[in-house]
Structure 1
Amino acid sequence: MRYTNLGRTGLTVSRLCVGTMNFGWQIGEEQSHAILDRAVSLGLNFVDTANMYGREDGDGLSERIIGSWLDKSGMRDAIVLATKVYAPMSDRPNDRGLSARNIIASCEASLRRLRTDWIDLFQMHHVDRKTPWEEIWQAMETLVGQGKIRYAGSSNFAGWHLARAQASADRRNFLGLVSEQCKYNLLTRQAELEVLPAAAELGIGILPYSPLHFGALSGALRKQTAGRTLLHFSERAEPHRAALERYEALCDELGREPTAVAIGWLLARPEVTAPVLGPRTPEQLDLPAAVLDDPLPDEAMRALDEIFPPVGPAPEAWAW
């Protein structure tokens, strides 16, 4: 396994992150625990979840599954644990968003479900357009002071949200954001326009989710030919058929699995800290882990840019 720092912090994380959105929704506790066991055996020390994942009537099932594994495995000190706050957790109006009340209450509820005393990375799952940053940072500072969280991060923020959030934190002499978790893959490159440049300037690590674009980049066309059609194929793969045909042909030329190429491309992006994987079996971690020791050659990176062109130039490019 290879490791890096999370953004501008001194915190060391594996170059791959175990995403747990499938825990509870797609797979049960036993299989989820097996995935976490395999992750640890491969050297992955970064686990990401959210209060809303796998929930049942507002209760975070994914967090509870991770909590039971932490109890059983005794691996809490070895894991960098990340979760999120924002999504509605009940029908009550204050059980959502980024008010100080909900940030603190959600953190305490996550701690109970995760059966831990602290959360390493507490992420805002979405920007809250109604809550001032002074209130948000006051709540985060309180949690840091109480030892309940170590760092704050964001998810699904625009570039200007990152800049505004960090400016507010700087005024308070607070560390502010250390990571941004955004949708980023070969088929979804919009983050390159503003989010990645802003994050790089501010020292914010990028944690791309959906690195395989819901499976479209995992060899969806060849799987369809073999009779294993991707879920929601008509929405997630069919609109990109021409590019995916070229992509899978390139993967064949390279002698690499499409999943490995998609993950390898992200790992080669200088702004990326760790792609967030979404395994449903322990074995689905093996191939991404192997990619770390077999980076894509430069000619493959250039070919991928031809197949999946960048959305547009960096912000300064259209100004004189």
Structure 2
Amino acid sequence: MKYRRLGNSGLKVSEIGLGSWLTYGSAVEKEKSISCIHRAYDLGINFFDTANAYNKGAAETVLKEALQDYTRSSYVLATKVFFPMGAGPNDRGLSRKHIIEQCEASLKRLGVDYIDLYQFHRYDHETPVEESLRALDDLIAQGKVLYGGVSEWSAAQLTDAVHIAKEKNLRPLISNQPIYNMMVRYIEKEVIPVSEKEGIGQVVFSPLAQGILTGKYKPNEQIPAKSRAANDDTNKWITSYLNDEVLTRVQRLSDIASGLEVELSQLALAWVLRQPNVSSAIIGASRPEQVEENVKASGLEIPASALDEVEAVLKEINDFVPIW
């Protein structure tokens, strides 16, 4: 496993991270979840990402049980705040009240004294950015959080936050967590250039496009049983990828991977990691074997000729906008 600095910070995270969205605490039973997390740790993954909103805290609880036997300093634990955690008007968003209360709740569920990376799960249009940043800065000052980040913020929103932090002498954000994969590349236009300028690293989610970029889904064929697309609890996030145009292109990408003697999933992850501004690609896994396959993408160099072939295939996918 290789490691990269997260933005301009001194924090180093594994090129492959393990996330818990749609898996741990929900679709994957606890024993299998813990097995995946343990295998990931054994293989050198040190970056574990979750959120308070993942099954209302259940994912954080699974991580607590899985990581409790390891030295706290040996892994980087990330969680998030923004989405509703109750029915009350203050049970959501990025107000100081919600941030502080949810940080305390996450610390209890995770069973730790501090969170390495605390992220704003989305942008809050109803709360002043300065209020949110000051609350985060206070948590860092108290030692309950070590670093701050965001998820799915636009280039303009990142720029605004950076300027406010500098003006008010607040600790800088070090990360952004956007969707990024071969099918969804919007961050390349503005988010990555701004992030490179301001010292913000990307920890990207859905690098395998909800499993589409494993090659398991074929054009004009039935959805495989027990796959994510066959699960009514998780398939709403994958349906936009399931069309013959996309799946036909995926088969061509699979041929490129075969020519390199790697799995399509490994090619897709290495393609994401070709971007220096990407610090980690966050995978999801329901079986330890999936973790074992995906970690092989760390350090994989894609030849320039293969990158050109990939680009030629991707240019044929027009205006693809997934649901997430």
Aligned to 1:52: 53
- Show CA shifts across 1:277-297 (max 9, x none): 111111111122112243211
3-state SS of 2:278 partner: coil
- Show CA shifts across 1:221-263 (max 9, x none): 4497597265157532314134223222222333321111101
Q: Distance in 2 between matches of 1:270 and 1:201?
A: 13
The one-letter code matched in structure 2 to 1:282 is P
The one-letter code matched in structure 1 to 2:281 is P
Does residue 237 of the first structure (1) align with residue 242 of the second (2)? yes
Q: CA deviation at 1:64?
A: 0.8
Structure 1 window deviating more from structure 2 (241-250 vs 79-88): it is: 241-250
Work out whether residues 189 and 310 of structure 1, in 8 Å CA contact, stay in contact via their aligned partners in 2.
no
3-state SS of 2:103 partner: helix
- Show CA shifts across 1:117-139 (max 9, x none): 00000000000011112211110
3-state SS of 1:81 partner: strand
RMSD: 2.0
Aligned to 1:316: none
The one-letter code matched in structure 2 to 1:189 is R
Aligned length: 307
What are structure 1's unaligned runs of at least 5 residues? 313-320
Q: CA deviation at 1:4?
A: 1.3
Q: CA deviation at 1:300?
A: 1.0
- CA gap 1:220/1:311 in 2 versus in 1, 3 angstroms: closer
Aligned to 2:8: 8
3-state SS of 1:156 partner: coil
- Show CA shifts across 1:256-275 (max 9, x none): 21111101101111211100
User: After TM superposition, where is structure 1 displaced by more than 6 Å over at least 4 residues in a row?
Assistant: none
Q: Distance in 2 between matches of 1:125 and 1:275?
A: 17
Aligned to 1:253: 259
Does residue 100 of the first structure (1) align with residue 96 of the second (2)? yes
Does residue 149 of the first structure (1) align with residue 145 of the second (2)? yes
The one-letter code matched in structure 2 to 1:28 is E
- CA gap 1:159/1:289 in 2 versus in 1, 3 angstroms: same
Q: Distance in 2 between matches of 1:13 and 1:249?
A: 31
The one-letter code matched in structure 2 to 1:69 is A
Q: TM-score, normalised by structure 2?
A: 0.89
- CA gap 1:92/1:267 in 2 versus in 1, 3 angstroms: same
Question: Identity percentage over the alignment?
Answer: 35
Q: TM-score, normalised by structure 1?
A: 0.91
Aligned to 1:20: 20
Q: Distance in 2 between matches of 1:215 and 1:148?
A: 35
Q: Distance in 1 between matches of 2:71 and 2:53?
A: 23
Q: Choose which of 133, 136, 149 in structure 2 pairs with 1:137.
A: 133
- Show CA shifts across 1:64-102 (max 9, x none): 11112233x133221100000000001011010000000
Q: Distance in 2 between matches of 1:294 and 1:130?
A: 43
Q: Distance in 2 between matches of 1:209 and 1:61?
A: 19
Work out whether residues 122 and 151 of structure 1, in 8 Å CA contact, stay in contact via their aligned partners in 2.
yes
3-state SS of 1:208 partner: strand
